[in-house]
Structure 1
Amino acid sequence: MGRIKFTDNLEPFLEMVQDKTNLSMNQLANICGTNRRSFSDWKNNKYSMPQEIFNKLIRISKLDPPKFKILPDFWHIKEAAKRGAINRNRIYGNPGTSEGRSRGGIATCRKFRLNPLLAKKLGFGISKDIALPKKSSRLAELIGVLLGDGSISDYQVRVYHDSETDVEHAFYVADLFQELFSVNPTLSKIKNENTYCVVISSINLIDSLIKLGLKRGSKIRQGTDIPVWIKRKKEFLKACLRGLMDTDGCFYIDKHKINGRSYYSPCLVFTNHSPILLKSVLSSFQRFNYGPTLNRHKSIFIRRKENVIRYFSDIGSSNPKHVKKFRSYSKLCKN
Structure 2
Amino acid sequence: MVAKSEIIANCLNNLENFAEFIGILLGDGSLSRYKSNNSQRMKITLDSREKEYSRHICNLIHMLFYIKPEVLYRKKENTADIVLYNRRIISILLDEFGMASSPKWNRAVIPDLCLNKRLDLAVLRGYFDTDGCVVLTNNNGIAYVRLEMKISPSPMQKQLIDILEKRGFRFGVYDIGRGKVRVQMNGKTQLNKWLKLVNFHNQRHIEKVSKYFKSKAHS
TM-score range, shorter chain: 0.7 to 0.9
The equivalent of 2:25 in structure 1 is 146
Q: What amino acid maps onto 1:185 in structure 2? A: P
The equivalent of 2:36 in structure 1 is none
Q: What amino acid maps onto 1:163 in structure 2? A: S
The equivalent of 1:280 in structure 2 is 159
Contact 1:282 1:292 in 2 (8 A): no
Contact 2:104 2:154 in 1 (8 A): no
Q: Where in structure 1 do 4 or more consecutive aligned residues deviate above 3 Å?
A: 127-130
Residue 270 (structure 1) aligned with residue 149 (structure 2): yes
User: What is the CA deviation profile of residues 221-273 of structure 1, one whole-angstrom value per residue up to 9, with x for unaligned ones?
Assistant: 4x22111111122x10000000000011000112101xxxx111110001122
Q: Which has the larger radius of gyration?
A: 1
Correspondence 1:163-312 to 2 at 5 A = 163-164=48-49, 166-210=50-94, 211-221=96-106, 223-233=107-117, 235-257=118-140, 262-297=141-176, 298-312=181-195
The structure with more strand, counted as a fraction of residues: 2
Identity %: 23
Contact 1:251 1:322 in 2 (8 A): yes
The number of residues matched between the two structures is 202
Contact 2:53 2:202 in 1 (8 A): yes
Deviation, 1:157, is 0.6
Deviation, 1:188, is 1.6
Correspondence 1:90-101 to 2 at 5 A = none
Which residues of structure 1 form unaligned runs of 5+? 1-126
Where 1:158 maps in the other structure, the secondary structure is: strand
Contact 2:2 2:66 in 1 (8 A): no
Distance in 2 between residues matched to 1:198 and 1:266, nearest whole Å = 30
Distance in 2 between residues matched to 1:279 and 1:255, nearest whole Å = 32
Contact 2:32 2:102 in 1 (8 A): yes
Where 2:136 maps in the other structure, the secondary structure is: strand
Where 1:300 maps in the other structure, the secondary structure is: strand
Q: What amino acid maps onto 2:190 in structure 1? A: N
Which residues of structure 2 form unaligned runs of 5+? 34-39
The equivalent of 2:217 in structure 1 is 334
Over the aligned positions, Cα root-mean-square deviation in angstroms equals: 1.5
Where 2:125 maps in the other structure, the secondary structure is: helix
Distance in 1 between residues matched to 2:135 and 2:191, nearest whole Å = 11
Deviation, 1:128, is 5.3
Distance in 2 between residues matched to 1:273 and 1:193, nearest whole Å = 24
Residue 320 (structure 1) aligned with residue 203 (structure 2): yes
The structure with more helix, counted as a fraction of residues: 1
The equivalent of 1:158 in structure 2 is 43
User: What is the CA deviation profile of residues 50-90 of structure 1, one whole-angstrom value per residue up to 9, with x for unaligned ones?
Assistant: xxxxxxxxxxxxxxxxxxxxxxxxxxxxxxxxxxxxxxxxx
